[in-house]
Amino acid sequence: MTMKKLKWGMIGGGEGSQIGPAHRLGAGLDGVFEFSAGALDHRPDYGIDYGQRLGLGDRAYGGWEEMLEAEKKRDDRVDLVTVATPNATHFEITKAFLENGFHVLCEKPMTMTIEEGEDIVEIAKKTGNICAVNYGYTGYSLVRHMRAMIARGDIGKVRLVNAEFAHGHHADATDADNPRVRWRYDPAQAGVSAQFADCGIHALHMASFVTGQEVEKLSADTVSCIDVRTLEDDAMVNFRMDGGAVGRLWTSSIAIGRQHGLGIQVFGETGGLRWSQEHPNQLYYMPLGERLQVIERGEANLSPEADRTSRVTIGHAEGMPLAFANIYADLAEAISARKESRIMDSAANLYPRAEDGLRSMAAVFAVAQSGKEDGKWMDARPPMFR
């Protein structure tokens, strides 16, 4: 299958940024997106200079407004804009690009408030433009396969999901005042939640992604293990989903000895599944009453969703850049299908959307509020979806 090259632009992700390189790897991997424009840094001159070094030429802009103005006038305007700036700027930038006819992939968390989230959902709906949210871990081939297995009934009705995203990278009290760490636990900069909003929502979204169920209500126990922190560095969240599943989610940034710590276990009436981001090429499956089996990425006869997202032969590790690339591949297919006025490949129709970003926001506020109220159960749905 041929695919016409698409043009891609980026806001944020400047030199030295954490997530910028992963986006460039992911978007570039298949050679479908051409990196064509960007406003990469909050310092205009740095952004332009870096953009030029990355080959953007005069489409290396000093700021996102400038980029928006310039790009919307071009015939060869970018087909997709990734927003990888700090959280507080996502809403404004995403909104502006959507309203001006661009498809957007926004980093998580999509917005800072539920209201902003609802706005984005409505703008996306109204304009018809794609607004995807980068829950990039859902791009892993075996996460896709997990979803497909559950959807086709391999483990029966889902009873319980147990998700984790617990690492130890903010465990050093002597480093807690380091500005690169401190802002995350400061409500003035980070909003109502730290660790849950940063990592927990990945795990919560994954719970929805693989089960095909949405979170309805939740109860949270949030704590700050390091004194100087206002926001939580550890949280346990219990939740209930609209298909009847019970949920449990642990997230932490003080779990010394754990490097990343994203993982998920799903238990249904007739089987159980287990997957972990640090070893993403194996999926553990036990059909009720049988033995634990190891499903390998790339093995024969998996689901179309798994096949589409598997790029090298079995036994060879695939990693996180390929998971990101799969999100971009979904978007390339979605955008191309629109351009070509055809129905998109349903196995690609799995990129997380504005609705998911909004739901995460609602969950963040519910967690923060429940945490303050001794674990009171809260409606976790955005008002819009109640």
Give the nearest distance from C-beta 47 to a copy of itself in angstroms.
Answer: 15
Q: Does 70 bind ligand NAD (CB under 6 A)?
A: no
Nearer to ligand NAD, 262 or 295 (CB): 262
- DSSP string of 160-182, one letter each residue: EEEEEEE--TT--GGGTTSHHHH
d(CA 146, CA 283): 8
Q: Does 201 bind ligand NAD (CB under 6 A)?
A: no
Give the nearest distance from C-beta 265 to a copy of itself in angstroms.
Answer: 7
Q: Does 113 bind ligand NAD (CB under 6 A)?
A: no
Give the nearest distance from C-beta 31 to a copy of itself in angstroms.
Answer: 5
Among ligand NAD, a copy of itself, none, what does residue 64 contact (CB within 5–8 Å per kind)? Answer: ligand NAD
Among ligand NAD, a copy of itself, none, what does residue 313 contact (CB within 5–8 Å per kind)? Answer: a copy of itself
Nearer to a copy of itself, 119 or 318 (CB): 318
Candidates 6-14, 143-151, 241-249, 255-263; binding stretch for ligand NAD (CB under 6 A): 6-14
Give the nearest distance from C-beta 253 to a copy of itself in angstroms.
Answer: 10
Give the nearest distance from C-beta 115 to a copy of itself in angstroms.
Answer: 28
Angular region, 345: left φ>0, alpha ψ -120 to 50, beta rest: beta
Please report, as residue ranges, which positions from 44 to 63 form the binding site for ligand NAD (by CB under 6 A).
63
Among ligand NAD, a copy of itself, none, what does residue 179 contact (CB within 5–8 Å per kind)? Answer: none
Q: Does 12 bind ligand NAD (CB under 6 A)?
A: yes
Residues 6+ apart with CB under 8 A from 125: none
Kindly tell me the burial class for residue 12, based on how many C-beta atoms sit within 10 Å of its own C-beta (0-12, 13-18, 19 or more).
buried
Contact 226, 134 (CB under 8 A): no
Contact 35, 27 (CB under 8 A): yes
Q: Does 275 bind ligand NAD (CB under 6 A)?
A: no
d(CA 225, CA 177): 14
Q: Give the residue carrying structure tokens 């009436």.
A: 269
Give the nearest distance from C-beta 39 to ligand NAD in angstroms.
Answer: 5
Q: How many residues in total does the chain contain?
A: 386
d(CA 204, CA 359): 10
Sign of CA dihedral 383, 377, 137, 257: positive
Q: Are strands 103-106 and 234-241 parallel, antiparallel or unpaired?
A: unpaired
Sign of CA dihedral 317, 34, 32, 128: positive
Candidates 79-87, 96-104, 207-215, 250-258; binding stretch for ligand NAD (CB under 6 A): 79-87
Amino acid at 178: N
Q: Does 39 bind ligand NAD (CB under 6 A)?
A: yes
**CA trace torsion 281, 286, 291, 296 (10° rounding):** -20
Among ligand NAD, a copy of itself, none, what does residue 168 contact (CB within 5–8 Å per kind)? Answer: a copy of itself
Q: Rounded to a whole number, what is the distance in angstroms from the first to the last CA of the chain?
A: 42
Q: Does 18 bind ligand NAD (CB under 6 A)?
A: yes
Among a copy of itself, ligand NAD, none, what does residue 155 contact (CB within 5–8 Å per kind)? Answer: a copy of itself
Q: Does 163 bind ligand NAD (CB under 6 A)?
A: no
Give the nearest distance from C-beta 284 to a copy of itself in angstroms.
Answer: 6
- What residues line the site for ligand NAD (CB under 6 A)? 11-14, 17-20, 39-42, 63-64, 84-87, 89, 107-108, 134, 136
